[in-house]
């Protein structure tokens, strides 16, 4: 059962209770703080570049694959749906989801792995921390300060964001003052940040299934992939898919898998959201969570799946990992992406004059490695390939670090 967006539960972050922004900002007064966050994220350049960044499969192969932008929009939808179901602030949950991947580099997780390896001895790299760096520093649309000057609640949720695919151990150390500021409220994000974590996991499970099963199959049919891809028979081994498919097939028993893929994914979505809403309400009541700070300092996450549903989701994600993310064709794409990122990083560090002036002028206040990392992390797939062609291929740049 859903709740109206203006009927917030006591544990939700209400519009008038935000802890504010880093900088004095007269143009932020009078608006809903989280609607303003949303507007600033939507209009920033880092958000627009997500359209041309890989989610899992490079878009050169199909116009239908999800990108980092469409993934983000699906996380927003999942987060808002769950927030409304439990009485949390859907505006804040949606804004957090909108910003959660702003720091993601090109070429999906392969690009992140490559940058993390390049930065191993130079402060590290992790895309959630980079998202905070984007909104706090790298975006610079307002003269009086750097960054987008977003709300405290959104910023703390970025630094505390986590899913099974995140690696906080790779993160660059934060400025001590920033760390103290954002961690002072407690080890966990507010309810809305926890909702965005689950929204991310739900979106991954659904859209990677569709991309792998159907779009990759079409590409294989055209002879563009040498190996077979995820099949309906493989998916039948997933308890989550099987449960949803059985419900749909009870209504349309004679329909082939490709004809009911969307209803099955919709039913998976409903099962996940309903379970998360019920389990989260149970945890909130059991722990007596009656304020945002109580959620931040709870012993366990207040927003979660039941143990039974988490096991089903884990099994489904493991199937995607083994059959899709480790698929030989995907592995080849990832290997190429890692090589491009690593070689480009090396030629920039070797000759800082190759960096644009807006980046090279920061050398001195920040290390050359961090500046090169910021530049590459902000690139789209296409631009990264172009820069690699310019500096490594055409000019014969030495890619050796």
Q: Give the span between the Cα atoms of 391 and 400, in whole angstroms.
A: 13
Q: Are 272 and 205 in contact (CB under 8 A)?
A: yes
User: What domains lie within the chain, and their CATH numbers?
Assistant: 1-401 (1.10.3210.10)
User: Residue 2: what pLDDT?
Assistant: 40
Residue 321's alpha-carbon distances to 192, 315, 316, 330, in angstroms, are 28, 10, 9, 11
How far, in Å, CA of 296 to CA of 32, rounded?
22
Interatomic CA distance for residues 284 and 301, integer angstroms: 9
Please identify every stretch of the chain with a pLDDT value under 50, giving residue numbers as ranges.
1-5, 225-228, 401
Q: Which residues contact 372 (CB under 8 A, 6 or more apart)?
A: 345, 348, 349, 352, 355, 359
Compute the mean pLDDT over every residue in the chain, rounded to the nearest whole number: 90
SS3 54: strand
Q: What share of the chain is helix, strand, coil (3-state, %, to 5)?
A: 65, 0, 35
Asked if 41 and 148 count as a contact pair (C-beta separation under 8 A), the reply is: yes
Structure tokens, 161: 């964001």
Task: Tell me phi and psi for residue 127, to 5 degrees.
Answer: -70, -25
- Return d(Cα 246, Cα 244) in angstroms, integer: 5
pTM over 0.85: yes
96 near 157, Cβ under 8 Å? yes
Q: Which of 324, 319, 355, 340 is nearest to 385 (CA)?
A: 340
Rounded to whole angstroms, what are the CA distances from 98 to 31, 111, 279, 281, 379?
Answer: 18, 20, 24, 24, 18
Q: What residues does 54 pair with on adjacent strands? A: 67
Residue count of the chain: 401
d(CA 17, CA 77): 24
* Residue 52: other Cβ atoms inside 10 A: 17
For residue 365, the SS3 value is coil
Q: How high is the pLDDT of residue 7?
A: 86
Helix (H, G, I), strand (E, B) or coil at 67: strand
Q: How many CA atoms lie within 13 A of 219 on its CB side?
A: 24
């Amino acid at each position: 059962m859903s709740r109206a967006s203006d009927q917030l539960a006591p544990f939700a972050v209400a519009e008038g209770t935000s802890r504010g922004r880093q900088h004095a900002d007269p143009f932020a007064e009078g608006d809903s703080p989280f609607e303003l966050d949303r507007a600033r994220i939507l209009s920033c350049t880092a958000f627009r570049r997500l359209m041309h960044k890989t989610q899992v499969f490079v878009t050169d192969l199909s116009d239908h694959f999800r990108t980092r932008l469409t993934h983000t929009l699906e996380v927003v939808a999942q987060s808002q749906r769950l927030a409304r179901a439990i009485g949390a602030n859907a505006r804040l949950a949606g804004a957090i989801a909108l910003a959660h991947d702003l720091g993601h580099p090109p070429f999906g997780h392969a690009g992140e792995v490559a940058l993390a390896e390049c930065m191993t001895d130079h402060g590290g790299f992790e895309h959630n921390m980079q998202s905070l760096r984007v909104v706090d520093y790298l975006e610079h649309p307002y003269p009086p300060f750097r960054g987008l000057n977003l709300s405290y609640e959104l910023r703390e949720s970025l630094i505390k964001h986590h899913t099974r695919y995140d690696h906080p151990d790779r993160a660059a150390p934060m400025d001590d003052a920033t760390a103290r500021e954002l961690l002072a409220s407690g080890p966990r994000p507010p309810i809305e940040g926890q909702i965005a974590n689950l929204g991310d996991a739900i979106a991954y499970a659904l859209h990677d299934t569709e991309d792998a099963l159907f779009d990759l199959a079409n590409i294989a049919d055209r002879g563009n992939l040498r190996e077979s891809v995820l099949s309906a028979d493989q998916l039948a081994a997933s308890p989550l898919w099987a449960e949803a498919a059985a419900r749909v097939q009870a209504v349309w028993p004679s329909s082939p898998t490709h004809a009911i893929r969307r209803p099955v994914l919709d039913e998976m979505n409903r099962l996940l959201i309903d379970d998360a809403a019920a389990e989260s309400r149970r945890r909130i009541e059991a722990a007596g969570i009656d304020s945002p700070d109580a959620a931040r300092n709870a012993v366990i996450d207040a927003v979660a799946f039941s143990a039974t549903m988490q096991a089903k989701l884990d099994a489904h994600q493991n199937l995607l990992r083994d059959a899709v993310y480790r698929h030989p064709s995907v592995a080849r794409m990832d290997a190429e992406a890692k090589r491009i990122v690593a070689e480009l990083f090396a030629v920039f560090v070797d000759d800082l004059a190759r960096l644009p002036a807006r980046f090279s002028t920061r050398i001195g206040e920040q290390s050359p490695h961090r500046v090169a990392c910021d530049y590459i992390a902000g690139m789209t797939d296409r631009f990264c390939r172009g820069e690699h062609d310019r500096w490594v291929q055409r000019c014969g740049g030495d890619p050796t670090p």
